Chains A and B, each alone.
Chain A
Amino acid sequence: MTQGDTKKVSFFFQSVKDVFAFFFSLVKKVRKTKIFFFISFLPVFMAFIVKFSQIFSLARNIEGIYIFNNMIMTFYMQFLILILALFYGTSVSSEELEGKTLTYLTTRPVSKSAIIIGKYVAYTGLVVIMTILGVVFSFLVLNLNELYELSLYQILFRDVAVLGLGLMCYTAFFTFVGTILKRSIMFGLIFSFGWENVIQYFPGSTQKFTIVHYLKSLLPSPSTGRFSFLLFRLEPSSTGNSVFMLFLITGVFLVLACVLFTFKEYIMED
C-alpha cells in the first residue's frame, strides 16, 4: 500500500466519522426517533404489567426468562427490528432525496460511499441503542427475582448480540433497497412480513435465503407446544456459519449500496 493509498483510506474513514457525527446528532433530534424509542420501550411497559400482575397473583406464574425468550424476544426479532431497520435503512438515501438535501452532501469533499457508510453506522447505532435499552430493561423487570442468577445474563448477552446482528444485517439490506428503489417501503414490508415469514415454512435450503434463518440459528430451538408455530421447520445452520453469513450479507449489501449510490444519478425535482 503506497502512502497515497494510506492517505486515501484515512481520508475515507475521517469522512465516515464526520458524516456519522453529523447524522447521529441530527437523527436524535427528530420527532420520529422519539416515537420509535417509545415503541421499542412498549415491551418494557408490558413487562411491568406482567410483573405487577404476577406480584398480585393476577397472572399465571410463568418464569420471567420464559416470557422474555418467547414473547419479548419474538416481538423484537420478528417485528420491531424489521420495522426499525426498514425505516432507518431506507432513510439512509431516501430521506436525502425526499428532503432534497442530497446536494449539501454531494458538494462536500466526501465520497458518496462515505456518506452511505457514515449514515448507515449512525442509524444502525441508534436503532441498536433503542433496541438494547428496551431488551435490557424488559429483561431486568421480568427477572427481578432472579437477578443474582449469572446464567441468565448469558442469555441476555446472547439475545442482545443476536438482535444487534439482526439490526446490522437488515439495516444494510434496506440501505441497499433504499438506494435502488423509489417505493422502498412497500418492498420492505413485503420482504419483512411476506418473504421472511413465509419462507421459514419451506424445508431444506430455501430457508437460507432469508436473514431470519441465520438469526434463529443463533438461538436455541424453542420447546414444542406454545409458540412453536412461530418457528416451523427450522433447520438451523451452525453458529459460526450463521455469524459469517450475517456479516457477509451486511458487507455485500453495503458495498452494493455504496456502488449504486456512487454511480447512480439522482434527479431531484425542482
Chain B
Amino acid sequence: MTAVIQTQNLSKWYGNVLGLSDVTLQIEPGITGILGPNGAGKSTFLKLITGQIKPNIGRVMIHGQKVWNNYALFAQIGFCPEQDSFYEELTGWQFLTNLLKLHHFSPEKINEKAEKAMDIVELTKDKDRVIRSYSRGMRQRLKVAQAIAHDPNIIILDEPLNGLDPLGRRKIIRLIKEYKGEGRMIVVSSHVLPEIEAMTNRIILIHQGKIFAQGDIHYIRDLIETHPHIISIKCSHPRLLAEKFIRYDYVLKVHFDLQKKSLLVETNNRDKFFSLLPSLFRENHISVEEITSPDDNLQAVFDYLIGK
C-alpha cells in the first residue's frame, strides 16, 4: 500500500527542549494510533504533519507534497487539535458553517455538510447555543465535527476522546472505524492505551521525542525478544506444573501466586511454550482453569519499550 504521509529525519526543537527527534516513517491508509505519555511528542508530530509548525530538520510530505504552507492540501485534511479553544461568541452552527465557507462550498452544500456533522456528533439540539455555554464534552464533539464536516480523506485527531463520557467515546471510536471502512486515512493520538487498542492494531509508539516502535501491536510484541512473555496459568497443581516447566531452557522464571492458585511463567519462546502445554496437562492430569497472557497488550508493550 502506498504511504500517504511520509516523514524523513523529522526533528523539532523548542529552544533547548527536544520535541521530536529524527523521525522517519511512512503512514499508510487505515487507522494509525500514535501512542505515548504526556510530553512524548505526539502533538508535536501531529502539528508537523498538519503544517502548524516547521521542522528544524527533515521533511514531511502528504501525497508526495510538502506540507508547510501548502494550503491546497487542506481540502483533503481534517484536523482536530488538542487545545480547547473556540470563537466563543459564535454558536456551534455558526462556527461550523463559517469554517465550511473557507472550503468554498456552496451555501446549500455548507448547510448539508454542517447538518450531517452536527448529527454525527449529536450536537443538533444545541447547535444554536453559544459555544461559551457548551460543556467540555460538547466542545470536544464540536472540535471533531469541524474536522470531519468537509468530508476529508485524511483525518488527524489529537486526543479526540478527551472530555467525552464513555458513551461519547464509544461513538467516536465507532465513527473512526466507519471512516476506515470508507477508505479514509485516520491518524489518532492518545495517551490512554485502551482507547487506541479499541480503534486499531496499527500503532506508533513515541516517547521522549523518539519513535520506539511502529507496526502491528502483536508484531511489535513478538519482536521484543529481550523481554520475555509472561503467561499466567490457573490450575489444580501449580507446583507440579512448575517442576515440569523448569526443565526447559526457554522457561526463564516461574512465580507462584498462592492465593489465586496460579503461576506466572516467563518464557522467551511463546510458540514453543504454548505447544508444550497440552501434553504437560494431559500427562500429569492437571486440570486447567485459566490461561492468560497478561503482557500481550499495549501497556505491557509500552512499559517494556520505555524500560519500566
A contacts B directly in the complex (CB < 8 Å)?
A: yes
> Does A60 reach chain B (CB closer than 8 Å)?
no
- For A99-127 the 0/1 string (1 means CB < 8 A from B) is 11101111111111000000000000000
User: Which among A109, A267, A270 is the interface contact of B72 at CB below 8 angstroms?
Assistant: A109
The answer to whether B51 and A106 touch across the interface, beta carbons within 8 angstroms, is yes
Identify which of B101-109, B217-225, B247-255, B298-306 touches chain A.
B101-109
Closest to A101 in B: B85
Chain A residues near B51 (CB-CB < 8 A): 106-107
Given contacts A103-B79, A108-B71, A262-B69, contact A29 B102 (CB under 8 A): no
Closest to B104 in A: A14
The answer to whether A26 and B87 touch across the interface, beta carbons within 8 angstroms, is yes
> Does B75 reach chain A (CB closer than 8 Å)?
yes
> Does A263 reach chain B (CB closer than 8 Å)?
yes
> Does B212 reach chain A (CB closer than 8 Å)?
no
> Does B274 reach chain A (CB closer than 8 Å)?
no
Given contacts A26-B89, A107-B79, A108-B74, contact A19 B102 (CB under 8 A): yes
> Does B52 reach chain A (CB closer than 8 Å)?
yes
Given contacts A100-B83, A267-B53, A268-B83, contact A110 B102 (CB under 8 A): yes
Given contacts A22-B101, A109-B104, contact A267 B69 (CB under 8 A): no
The answer to whether B102 and A22 touch across the interface, beta carbons within 8 angstroms, is yes
Question: In the complex, what distance in Å separates the CA atom of A122 from the CA atom of B94?
Answer: 17
User: Which of B62-82 touch A at CB < 8 Å?
Assistant: 69, 71-75, 77-79, 81-82
The answer to whether B74 and A109 touch across the interface, beta carbons within 8 angstroms, is yes
The answer to whether A29 and B69 touch across the interface, beta carbons within 8 angstroms, is no
> Does A30 reach chain B (CB closer than 8 Å)?
yes
A148 smallest CB distance to B (angstroms): 44
> Does B189 reach chain A (CB closer than 8 Å)?
no
Question: In the complex, what distance in Å separates the CA atom of A110 from the CA atom of B72?
Answer: 7
The answer to whether B74 and A107 touch across the interface, beta carbons within 8 angstroms, is yes
Closest to A102 in B: B52
> Does A21 reach chain B (CB closer than 8 Å)?
yes
> Does A149 reach chain B (CB closer than 8 Å)?
no
Question: In the complex, what distance in Å separates the CA atom of A103 from the CA atom of B72?
Answer: 15
The answer to whether A103 and B74 touch across the interface, beta carbons within 8 angstroms, is no
> Does B54 reach chain A (CB closer than 8 Å)?
yes
> Does B43 reach chain A (CB closer than 8 Å)?
yes
B5 smallest CB distance to A (angstroms): 15
The answer to whether B50 and A109 touch across the interface, beta carbons within 8 angstroms, is no
Question: In the complex, what distance in Å separates the CA atom of A15 from the CA atom of B99?
Answer: 11
The answer to whether A107 and B98 touch across the interface, beta carbons within 8 angstroms, is no
> Does A265 reach chain B (CB closer than 8 Å)?
yes
Chain B residues near A14 (CB-CB < 8 A): 104
> Does A18 reach chain B (CB closer than 8 Å)?
yes
User: Which among B14, B52, B73 is the interface contact of A103 at CB below 8 angstroms?
Assistant: B52
User: Which among B14, B50, B89, B90 is the interface contact of A267 at CB below 8 angstroms?
Assistant: B14
Chain A residues near B102 (CB-CB < 8 A): 15, 18-19, 22, 105, 108-110
Closest to A268 in B: B83
User: Which among A25, A26, A109 is the interface contact of B75 at CB below 8 angstroms?
Assistant: A109
B111 smallest CB distance to A (angstroms): 15
Question: In the complex, what distance in Å separates the CA atom of A18 from the CA atom of B115?
Answer: 20
Closest to B84 in A: A100
Question: In the complex, what distance in Å separates the CA atom of A30 from the CA atom of B86?
Answer: 13
Closest to B15 in A: A267
Chain A residues near B50 (CB-CB < 8 A): 107
> Does B153 reach chain A (CB closer than 8 Å)?
no
> Does B11 reach chain A (CB closer than 8 Å)?
no
Chain B residues near A25 (CB-CB < 8 A): 94, 98
Chain B residues near A262 (CB-CB < 8 A): 69
Interface residues of B (CB under 8 A from A): 14, 43, 50-54, 69, 71-75, 77-79, 81-83, 85-87, 89-90, 94, 98-99, 101-104, 146
Complex A-B, nearest 9 residue pairs according to Cβ-Cβ distance, in ascending order:
A100-B85, A108-B102, A109-B75, A107-B79, A22-B98, A29-B89, A103-B81, A109-B74, A18-B101
